[in-house]
Chains A and B, each alone.
Chain A
Amino acid sequence: MQAMKNIRNFCIIAHIDHGKSTLADRLLEFTGTVSERDLKEQVLDDMELEREKGITIKSHAIQMDYPFEGEQYVLNLIDTPGHVDFSYEVSRSIAACEGALLVVDATQGIQAQTISNLYLAIEHDLEIIPVLNKMDLDNAMPDEVKDQIVDMLGCDYEDIIEASGKTGYGVEQILEAVIKKVPSPKGDTNAPLQALIFDSVFNSFRGIIAYFRIFNGEIRKGDQVKFVNTGKEYEANEIGVLRLDREPRSVLSTGDVGYIISGIKASKEVKVGDTVTHVENPCDKAIEGFEDVKPMVFAGIYPIDPDEYEELRSSMEKLQLNDASLTWEPESSAALGFGFRCGFLGLLHMEIIQERLDREFNMNVITTMPNVSYRVVTNKKEIIEVHNPSGLPEQKYIDHIEEPFIKAQIITRTEYIGSIIKLCLDKRGELKNQVYLTTSRVEITVDMPLGEIVFDFYDKLKSISKGYASFDYHITGYKPAKLIKLDILLNGESVDALSTLLHQDNAYDFGRKMCVKLKELIPRQQFDIAIQAAIGAKIIARETVKAVRKDVTAKCYGGDITRKRKLLEKQKKGKKRMRKVGNVEVPQKAFLVVLRLND
């Protein structure tokens, strides 16, 4: 066991893609934590999806040993995700650490999540070690970016470590800074056990594995422990430290980062942020945990094959075991049958869940268009949370509707300010602040409705800024808005899965675009199909898909037979995947029409 003074707990934080995981590789390699044989790029990104997308989704903790100036140190590193959807992962990791490496890509400079993650670290009093990464690249701009860092942190130029996750340059200096600058953990080994659970993962053999950081006391294998918030008691079947694999230990002490396996089966039973203590001689107070992560984006997920509803349910349950941020409740739709209304942290999270369902569970699903959660205030002043436009109470019971608002930070080059502000205003945003970070870079702060970014905001931002804009946001609260429900009717039948809640000023334009796009997406059938957009009983737009009048192709000779058969087989397959609304066959892609309005 290591003396507390020789333990360092730190995390790596940065904007997305600035090289956190790659730099972690170099640290692991340099300290010999990972053998050459095991080393692959971004070794900590061990989920298949992380590897494929090249992004970190979950935080990953790993322990390193490092001798320095004649003493042996234990360094606990936590690599964190950069994407805004997963910023709660960053805040949890931060709670287990005394220091943070703030990585900044030398070719990109400070971006929106650099700032937001830095603030999280500063709030927790972490020692910040600025690292200027990707120095190996020709287009690195060390001087300019160092200016930005010094401006932001108020540190000295000498404090900034130049590094490269590619070549390993600067790694030794980073380790030295971690040891010298990051404070060793404080706490009392003899006090009652007090450990914070900062993460949990699901393992199909072992059940839930909870990761913790001990703030006071010590824990031994076989101890009877209690989770303060849930009040549940368990035996510590196995405890240990996190190397590339788990390494069991018999005892862990104040300052240590480790894991506990105690026969817990479901992630719901473990609350990340809970405090672990002993059943006998418990600590008198829980450590301050985390705010619950609240899903903000909702969408329906339906099995493509309606018979697979039960299978989908069990897949979702399994997914939830290792992703407690995913929430869902059963829902049914006249158009899509039985499915689930799921809550996600953001659009990336939604995309990831959908992909994991496909890959890990072989479930083909239809995802309906996403919407945010609304608060409906009724005439009787009750507040109802609505996650689905079709779940809206009748108009006569509604006093007003409130929608979630965000404060968004956008960092971009000065030449794009004009068009970005215009985009935000178009999205009902309100400009709050505009700060020049340097002569060529500006930070814009905007209040805007979250609902506006779940459609096409990112794509638009990216294209108008040619990729030179980074975006970060956090929810600020709810505000009343003039929202109305727009319905889509096919041959007079309302398609619940296509209803949207939107601001009344956008309704006409939106309804018209929906109809036009649906006309493209719905194939011609044996009869005319009227596509209408309606607000209540009022039709505001209409298009018609003309009936097929013939489909036969003239030739069917030797060479045509195979070709034609294949074509018709494909048609048949496509048709099988369609949903029936009344008598109209609707292809699945039509249910995502909103996301394609601007294609």
Chain B
Amino acid sequence: MAGVYVHIPFCKQKCHYCNFYSVVSVKYREPFLKALLFEIGQRKSYLNREKINTIYFGGGTPSLLGFEELISIIEKIKNSFHVDTAVEITLEANPDDLNANKLKRLKNETSVNRLSIGIQSFFDDDLHYLNRVHDAHQAYHSIELAKKQGFNNLTIDLIYGIPGLIRKKWIKNLEIFFSFNLPHLSSYSLTVEPKTALLTFIRQGKMENIDENKSIEHFKILMEKTTENGYIHYEISNFAKKGYYSKHNSLYWLGGHYIGFGPSAHSYNGVSRQWNVPNMKQYIEAEKTKKIIFDKEVLSKNQQYNEYVMTSLRTIWGCDPEHIQNVFGKFYEEYFSKIIFPFIEDEKVYRQGNHYFLTNKGKLFADGIASELFMDDE
């Protein structure tokens, strides 16, 4: 099982909190597409003919793509890779791009079978704080329309911890989500990333800073309410009905292989990870130079172990010491078992069967726990 990621680096405007690579200018739309198709063809042997079971269009804003563009990309992938017939093809879409006609054509003319809609909030003031393009009405409407067009495999994003998002509003956001009876939810705490407008505005005092306590409270509510409504908390930020886990994201967390196309996209083949240049101008050069510019790291054993611990602990599949022993050796397993112990005492981690999992309390400290479990290079 392996995956293909396609990065569509265009946005109508930049959201304040966003640190993904995307540009607002449409000037490079055409050369980008050419370079992208070139890259797909050129790197077709990267995954060694592994079977592709998920294709994911992320961004940026993939819903800005025209139908021909989208179809040509999917075709190119299918011609270059060994794509499973039951492949899950996800398209990230922004509510303002989704009208009835567009959704209908998406459903009928393309093989996209899963939508991930960037809702973020059902309240205008939050959307305004985030500098999203859409409004609350479009948020509702896009979900309704998508459902109506038969997109059953639907997920939305919701952001919590926004300064204006009081507890009641957050609960309301969740209730609205539940009312649509969608099979999947990704929900993130707002974070202030480096090099974002949000950071600048907060520093300048133009925007209110985020409050950690609020974010913790929201996370607890999120866990509680999703469980009540029958969702499985299968990764720190992801909740799904049974059978609806995102195939693509699961791949990331289970150490699966993937190839990423487009500027800033990452690829991983089990041994090395590489990432394309996060720069449109340099990326589109590839069409002429026949060379994709990327950086690469070959993972050491320690790094592979670290990644396994870091990702697996975040998931419902948990961290398996037996797997550690088989893949990395007895030494790693003993180290892991020793370090994890105090976290069990502290009720941040629990053991069930042979696997370790984060408790709800531990889920707030996933990074610190992982970091403690890391193996140092010296």
Q: Mark B352-365, 1 if CB is under 8 A from A, else 0.
A: 00000000000111
Q: Quick one: which of A556, A564, A572, A576 has the most chain B CB within 10 A?
A: A556
Q: In the complex, A564 Cα to B366 Cα: how many Å?
A: 12
Q: In the complex, A513 Cα to B36 Cα: how many Å?
A: 57
Once the chains bind, are B367 and A558 in contact (CB under 8 Å)?
A: no
Q: In the complex, A184 Cα to B68 Cα: how many Å?
A: 98
Name which residue of chain A comes closest to B219, CB basis.
Answer: A550
Name which residue of chain A comes closest to B187, CB basis.
Answer: A554
A561 contacts the other chain (CB 8 A): yes
Q: In the complex, A170 Cα to B368 Cα: how many Å?
A: 67
B228 contacts the other chain (CB 8 A): no
Once the chains bind, are B366 and A569 in contact (CB under 8 Å)?
A: no
Instruction: List the A side residues contacting B10 at CB < 8 Å.
Output: none
B80 contacts the other chain (CB 8 A): no
Main SS class of interface, A = helix
Given contacts A556-B236, A556-B314, contact A568 B367 (CB under 8 A): yes
Give the number of chain A interface residues (Cβ < 8 Å): 23
A548 contacts the other chain (CB 8 A): yes
Within 243-272 of B, Cβ neighbours of A (below 8 Å) are at 249, 252-253, 258, 260, 264-266, 268
Instruction: List the B side residues contacting A561 at CB < 8 Å.
Output: 252, 266, 268, 273, 307, 310-311
B371 contacts the other chain (CB 8 A): yes
Give the segment of B176-184, B199-207, B210-218, B321-329 that binds chain A.
B210-218
Given contacts A562-B266, A576-B376, contact A568 B371 (CB under 8 A): yes
B188 contacts the other chain (CB 8 A): yes
- Measured as residues with beta carbon below 8 angstroms from the partner, the interface class of chain B is 35 or more
Once the chains bind, are B268 and A558 in contact (CB under 8 Å)?
A: yes
Within 538-576 of A, Cβ neighbours of B (below 8 Å) are at 548-559, 561-562, 564-565, 568-569, 571-573, 575-576
Once the chains bind, are B275 and A559 in contact (CB under 8 Å)?
A: yes
Once the chains bind, are A558 and B364 in contact (CB under 8 Å)?
A: no
Within 181-197 of B, Cβ neighbours of A (below 8 Å) are at 187-189, 191
Once the chains bind, are B366 and A552 in contact (CB under 8 Å)?
A: yes
Given contacts A550-B215, A556-B253, A562-B273, contact A569 B374 (CB under 8 A): yes
A101 nearest CB across to chain B (Å): 51
Once the chains bind, are A554 and B188 in contact (CB under 8 Å)?
A: yes
Q: In the complex, A559 Cα to B22 Cα: how many Å?
A: 14
Instruction: List the A side residues contacting B310 at CB < 8 Å.
Output: 556, 561, 564-565, 568
Given contacts A557-B249, A562-B266, contact A569 B365 (CB under 8 A): no
Q: In the complex, A568 Cα to B306 Cα: how many Å?
A: 9
B303 contacts the other chain (CB 8 A): yes
B81 contacts the other chain (CB 8 A): no
B134 nearest CB across to chain A (Å): 21
Within 474-513 of A, Cβ neighbours of B (below 8 Å) are at none
Instruction: List the B side residues contacting A549 at CB < 8 Å.
Output: 212-213, 216, 364
Given contacts A559-B275, A564-B367, A565-B307, contact A553 B191 (CB under 8 A): yes
Q: Mark B134-145, 1 if CB is under 8 A from A, else 0.
A: 000000000000
Once the chains bind, are B367 and A551 in contact (CB under 8 Å)?
A: yes
B298 nearest CB across to chain A (Å): 12
Q: In the complex, A551 Cα to B215 Cα: how many Å?
A: 11
Once the chains bind, are A554 and B237 in contact (CB under 8 Å)?
A: yes
Within 121-146 of A, Cβ neighbours of B (below 8 Å) are at none
Instruction: List the B side residues contacting A555 at CB < 8 Å.
Output: 188, 237
Instruction: List the A side residues contacting B249 at CB < 8 Å.
Output: 557
B210 nearest CB across to chain A (Å): 12
Q: In the complex, A340 Cα to B364 Cα: how many Å?
A: 42
Once the chains bind, are A572 and B266 in contact (CB under 8 Å)?
A: no
Once the chains bind, are A552 and B364 in contact (CB under 8 Å)?
A: yes
B345 contacts the other chain (CB 8 A): no
Binding site for B on A (CB under 8 A): 548-559, 561-562, 564-565, 568-569, 571-573, 575-576
- 17 interchain pairs (CB within 8 A)? A548-B368, A550-B364, A551-B364, A551-B367, A552-B367, A554-B191, A556-B236, A556-B253, A561-B266, A561-B268, A561-B307, A564-B310, A569-B306, A569-B371, A569-B376, A572-B376, A575-B371
Binding site for A on B (CB under 8 A): 5, 187-189, 191, 212-213, 215-216, 219, 235-237, 249, 252-253, 258, 260, 264-266, 268, 273, 275, 297, 303, 306-307, 310-311, 314, 363-368, 370-372, 374, 376
When A and B form their complex, which 4 residue pairs have the shortest distance between CB atoms, in order from nearest? A554-B188, A550-B364, A568-B371, A552-B366
- 4 further interface pairs, Cβ-Cβ under 8 Å (given A551-B365, A552-B236): A554-B236, A561-B252, A561-B268, A572-B371
